[in-house]
Each structure stands twice: as C-alpha cells, then as structure tokens.
Chain A
Amino acid sequence: IQLTQSPSLLSASVGDRVTLSCKGSQNINNYLAWYQQKLGEAPKLLIYNTNSLQTGIPSRFSGSGSGTDYTLTISSLQPEDVATYFCYQYNNGNTFGAGTKLELK
C-alpha cells in the first residue's frame, strides 16, 4: 500500500486549525498511525488506529478517517508543533507516507 500525504509543505499561524491528509492506494482498514518528527529527533507517536490518542499527547491533536482517506487535525496550532508529520499504515505490510512539513507563517 502506498501512502500519499498532502500538502507536502504547510504554513500556518499560531492558533490556526490545521488539517493534514493521508491517502492510501488501497483500503487501510483504520490501521493508520501518525508520527511527529522534530528536527534532529526521533519520531514521536501521536495517533494510532486512526483516532486513538497516544498517552501524553495533547488533546489538540486528533485523527479521523476510514477506507483510504485519513486526516490528522491540530485544533489550535502551537509554536512547538512545528515539525514534519508522517502517516503510517500497518494494514498490509508497513508503509510510511513521505511527510508533511508544518511551519509557522
């Protein structure tokens, strides 16, 4: 399964509601996770199984979707959210998306 993330680069302001998209080439059956990677750091798990928030992750992060289309939403962007975000499917094999780089406007 191939994953296509869009946009590849997103500029937003503090306080904005931000939506990142991840589309699979086949049905992912909700076996999708989202990771945040800040510069020079290992990835951090934010969301698993489409919409389950990992322990310790702020509630402004949420996930949704079904079938082939999935979304990560940040309800109110904070400066510390500047990072690259990767989606990851584990329904059929294991595949990461190419990432969305989120920057402050």
Chain B
Amino acid sequence: EVQLVESGGGLVQPGRSLKLSCVASGFTFSNYGMNWIRQAPGKGLEWVAYISSGSSYIYYAETVKGRFTISRDNAKNTLYLQMTSLRSEDTALYYCARGRDSYAHWGQGVMVTVSS
C-alpha cells in the first residue's frame, strides 16, 4: 500500500524558516516524481513544487520561487521542502503527492502556520 507521511510543520514567525519532510513507503520511491501541494484554511488547492525521480527536473510556483527548495533523498525514501522567508500567506496544509501530472496518491498533510 502506498503511504506518504508528512512531518515538520508547526507555528513559525514571519521571515523564519521551516523544513517539511514526506516519508514514502509501499512503492519504489526513486521511480516517481513528487510534488508539494498546499491548501490555505478554507481555501482551494495550490501546486507548490515538483521534483523528478532523479532530481534532474525541478519546478516551482511563482509564489514560492526563490524562497522554497524542494529536494529528495532516494536512499531514505524521503521528500523535503525547505521553506525560507516565510510569510503569512504561506499558512496552509501542505501535502506531498506522487506523480508528474495527475496525483493518485497524497499524504494526510502537515499544517504550517506563519504568525507572530
């Protein structure tokens, strides 16, 4: 069974940094591209970043480009999102999701709250 488990969220002050992790199991992690997708409270979904299976291709939403860094460690079956210069508008539930274009597998999400 495919499982994606996010962690690392919490309350952080504006301008500070936070690193999210997503541990994958139940499939060969190194074969799949991975994404971070977020959802602000009571709002819709926003795709954040994508990383290909071998980390050769990386894409970001314009809203996070230059502040967030997606990475992965295939030996540890883990996806990361390093978030810096956090803003109040980054407050959201962050999901990791498997796939290049359509996402059949999602984690349960991890909450990030940016507030002073």
Contacts and interface: CB of A to CB of B under 8 A. Distances in A.
A96 B104 contact: no
Contacts of A33: 101-102
B102 A90 contact: yes
B44 interface: yes
Interface residues on B, range: 10 to 19
B44 A90 contact: no
Q: Is the interface of B mostly helix, strand, loop or mixed?
A: loop
Contacts of B45: 35, 37, 43, 86, 88, 96, 99
Nearest to B105: A45
Interface residues of A, number: 21
Interface in A1-57: 31, 33, 35, 37, 42-45, 48-49, 54-55
Interface of A: 31, 33, 35, 37, 42-45, 48-49, 54-55, 86, 88, 90, 94-99
